[in-house]
Amino acid sequence: MIKIGFLVVLLFCLCRGESCLNPVIAPSTYTTSDAVISSESVFIVELSLTCANGVQSVALYADVNGRQFPVTRGQDVGKYQVSWSLPHKQASSGTYQVKFFDEESYSALRKAQRNNEDVDIIKPLFSVNVDHRGAWNGPWVSTEVLAAAIGILVYYFAFSAKSTIQA
């Protein structure tokens, strides 16, 4: 009986995930800036994470405006990335707050969502602000139309000048 109890305690200790204490992050962000060559605006957040208690390979989840995304771990220890996309019309310019949760706080977030409770009381592990300046949709007038208009104007002025010289 003591052996079974010892095994249960040992398994609990081995399976228990540690939380990251006092996380220090170094984020870098990317957003789509040209809507002419892409169909959606893409947001990418890459970051390096170090924990004060030395925990490595923390499972992270990201929340952006109520939508959750899994965070992928990089090959290097402490490197993470999350990305998502939105249609250009929905991806308005401004600052997007990306909240990162560990497994414990993420499960509390999902539970609060299922029970229609206030999710703002659940504190993220850390958050990153992504500044999106909007996507450029190209010039108002295409270059072909502009070149044709200039060509017509040059022809008109040349024809007018020829007419006044011959008259």
- Decide which of 105 and 9 is more confident: 105
Confidence of residue 137 (pLDDT cuts 50, 70, 90): confident
Q: How confident is the model at residue 50 (pLDDT cuts 50, 70, 90)?
A: very high
Q: Is the pLDDT of residue 129 over 50?
A: yes
Q: Is the pLDDT of residue 24 over 80?
A: yes
SS3 content of the chain, % helix, strand, coil (to 5): 30, 35, 35
Which candidate, 24, 21, 41, 25, places its Cα nearest to that of 33?
A: 41
Q: What is the mean pLDDT of residues 54-60?
A: 89
* pLDDT given at position 77: 86
